[in-house]
Structure 1
């Protein structure tokens, strides 16, 4: 088709209007065109691979087994033993459960801690910078931008739930980890340590975390309930993030905004 050019020879887009009254200004208008791609799609593909794989790693399997320990089941099995096998009394099942839970917490902290294999924030930052699409941490999908912080927190919630941790454990653990990070940062400056307090997140441990992180972790847990690793797809993940209302946080601490083409 023929192009409409401006005085400098650049193509212009025509804006058509259907109206019942005459339009007095019929001149062609040049509109800004956004060249930003849907960069979020590539990120979602990578994260879905991580979310489907990590529950079945060696560490994931160990945590799942530890979290699955059931005191009531163990007691039922002991009570079903012959009388002579029960003469010495039952094992300390409560102590065993506590030990297994402590082991699960230790493995989880090692996996998701700063700079560890399941801390995707620095991994994504490096990938996005190499592709020259970091854009201060914001990537586009459709009409919105998403801050790259959300992805590792969604993974945290999804994989944590897959490995048997409860929502309360995951949120509280994230809050305590954030408080530790905030304190460490302030001491390094040095300045008096300060911690966050977001009562909208819930109880005291939950309130220590960023609001966007809190929302992202809950989204990850909800995703696990909706789609187990065998059925999780990129489309499901993308639909989930689109469903989170803007601004995905509060005040200046947000993770979703209307796309800014700059």
Structure 2
């Protein structure tokens, strides 16, 4: 009786995984609940999920937002899906029995991530073929005014499609970075040949641009930090150094 009541209290639409499934934005789904962070899984599931995730754009660090998502895989095969977010410090995905399926977030240690070189968390898990599953997602936030780098704070995607998108983005990124590196090499050669400071300034400016892009895409933190808590602060520092280099070059 309880299960029937709880299932009917979740007003979010069911996510159907079929051949056409690509991604679902959870921002406007009526499937959220805010609780004390210390509340147990069993206690959480006894409450109705009647709020929209967008209602909790910000919340204090002693709270947690829980999301209940019904997923129906109509395919005969298991499908790998990914939960993607650049906002929350801690993200945990559970099945209906409370088993932890995946975890991540800005505060999650970089060395434990499956995808290390990005401040955007990607949590991968599997939805079995011909099955209906209820997922519970716990979100924790330390920064009351988080900076978001994704169009939506929380999205579920098919992992295969996501990897294709990331591969395309990485190809563009490496093409851009390759151009910057060539500019650095070219102007370095000119500087050592003609000894004009103008070329040296251009080298410094391009090095700073290269560093900024690497920091912004989260590819530098893994060498200096244990997590991505300082991502925005690191971007601000390197961005200001870029501004100084720009004025120094054009001043």
**Do they fold alike, i.e. is TM over 0.5?**
no
Higher helix share: 1
Is the radius of gyration larger for structure 1 or structure 2? 1
Scaled to the shorter chain, the TM-score interval is: under 0.3
Calculate the TM-score normalised by the size of structure 2.
0.25
Higher strand share: 2
Calculate the TM-score normalised by the size of structure 1.
0.24
